């Protein structure tokens, strides 16, 4: 047996060995003696056994840094009456899109829906309802269906893509066979996917590939959200709005969900968008006004 002790000490063994430490080597403990265990050059006399140095230890990778939660939202103002029922989206600059049940509008201001472009026929055959939509990379994404209530899935549903400048319909993909209600759509730019919510199923969200819109997976909601009306993506989170003014966050990296805000205004809460540090959320108020409320994260 050969005992290797700390640098500069002698070892007991059948033969004399010379230990030459290498620069940057670390020390360890062998049988109670300090030794250069991580790397060393060992010179032996002929016939002596060769002691192989152990491999360097690889440090653990740095832990993943998760996106930080916002600490709720503060209301900072509102638009005038937009006249639409379903939702809102923006390109983050000077284009603002308002979604009505059977029409789509583009305005140069979020404060008023004064259309610079309009599409009064955004639906496809067999559908009666346009939900909340989203803007992404020069296109506007909408979700249409033949709403039949929550007792049965829509008899027809589709994702429709519009040109962001003219609002002309570019194409649509029928998703009826996915068998779920369709209330809102948003885009995940990092994975090139679309996420669709259901007003009738608050247990999960439905994920479709772009550009062909094949259903590839679902995202579970740890705490089900009843009556989802709107969904939007920002900075690693999905923000989910329910019909009664509840606003929830879902962190995609780890699937954690939190309730972030409860709006105090009475009415039916609809679609929303969150860009440039401001969340805008449509409410069909009990007084008949269709108002875009503005919030900033705390």
| Span 146-163, pLDDT tens digits | 999 999 999 999 999 999
Dist. CA 80–CA 95, nearest whole Å: 17
Is 217 part of any domain? Answer: yes
23, 109: one domain: no
Counting Cα atoms < 13 Å in the Cβ hemisphere of 16 gives 2
- Structural domain ending residue among the three candidates 17, 35, 61: 61
Is 187 part of any domain? Answer: yes
Dist. CA 64–CA 260, nearest whole Å: 23
pLDDT at 186: 98
Residue 223 near residue 270 (C-beta atoms within 8 A): no
Residue 251 near residue 239 (C-beta atoms within 8 A): no
237, 143: one domain: yes
24, 92: one domain: no
Q: Where are the alpha helices (DSSP H) in 153-295?
A: none
Which domain, by its residues, includes 44? 1-61
State the pairing for strand pair 129-130/134-136.
Answer: unpaired
- Structural domain ending residue among the three candidates 14, 38, 61: 61
Residue 177 DSSP label: G
Q: Which of 22-26, 127-131, 221-225 has the lowest mean pLDDT?
A: 22-26
Structure tokens at 218: 């679902």
84, 148: one domain: yes
Residue 234 DSSP label: E
pLDDT at 30: 39
- Structural domain ending residue among the three candidates 18, 37, 61: 61
5, 126: one domain: no
| Residue whose pair of structure tokens reads 């250069």 in the numeric block | 36
What residues contact 73, with CB distance under 8 A and at least 6 apart?
247, 260, 261, 279, 295, 296, 297, 298
Reply yes or no on whether the pLDDT at 168 is more than 60: yes
pLDDT at 91: 97
43-98: per-residue pLDDT in tens?
444 554 544 454 555 555 666 899 999 999 999 999 999 999 999 999 999 999 99
CATH number of the domain to which 190 belongs? 2.120.10.30
pLDDT at 229: 98
Residue 17 DSSP label: -
Domains in the chain: how many in total?
Answer: 2
Is 185 part of any domain? Answer: yes
DSSP letter string over 190-225?
TTTEEEEE-SS-TTEEEEEETTT--EEEEEE-SS--
Reply yes or no on whether the pLDDT at 281 is more than 90: yes
Q: Please give the helix or strand (H or E) that residue 162 lies within, else none.
A: strand 157-163
Dist. CA 51–CA 110, nearest whole Å: 75
Dist. CA 51–CA 176, nearest whole Å: 69
154, 282: one domain: yes
């Amino acid at each position: 047996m050969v005992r290797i002790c700390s640098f500069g000490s002698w070892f007991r063994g059948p033969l004399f060995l010379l230990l030459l430490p290498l620069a940057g080597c670390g020390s360890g403990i062998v049988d109670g003696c300090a030794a250069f265990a991580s790397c060393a050059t060992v010179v032996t006399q002929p016939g002596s056994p060769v002691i192989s140095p152990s491999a360097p230890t690889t440090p653990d990778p740095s832990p993943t840094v998760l996106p930080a939660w916002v600490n709720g939202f503060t209301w900072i103002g509102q638009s005038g009456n937009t006249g639409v029922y379903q939702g809102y989206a923006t390109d983050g600059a000077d284009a603002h899109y308002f979604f009505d049940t059977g029409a789509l509008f583009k305005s140069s201001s979020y404060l008023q829906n004064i259309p610079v472009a309009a599409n009064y026929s955004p639906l496809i055959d067999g559908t009666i309802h346009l939900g909340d939509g989203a803007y992404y990379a020069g296109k506007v994404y909408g979700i249409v269906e033949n709403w039949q209530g929550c007792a049965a899935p829509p008899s027809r549903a589709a994702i429709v893509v519009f040109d962001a400048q003219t609002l002309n319909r570019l194409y649509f993909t029928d998703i009826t066979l996915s068998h779920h209600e369709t209330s809102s759509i948003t885009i995940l730019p990092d994975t090139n996917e679309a996420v669709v919510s259901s007003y009738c199923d608050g247990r999960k969200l439905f994920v479709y590939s772009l550009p062909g819109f094949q259903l590839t997976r679902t995202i579970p909601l740890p705490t089900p959200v009843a009556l989802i009306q709107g969904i939007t993506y920002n900075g690693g989170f999905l923000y989910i709005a329910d019909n009664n003014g509840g606003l929830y966050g879902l962190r995609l990296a780890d699937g954690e969900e939190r309730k972030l805000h409860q709006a105090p205004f009475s009415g039916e809460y609809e679609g929303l968008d969150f860009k440039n540090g401001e969340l805008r959320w449509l409410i069909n108020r009990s007084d008949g006004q269709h108002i875009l409320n503005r919030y900033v994260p705390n």
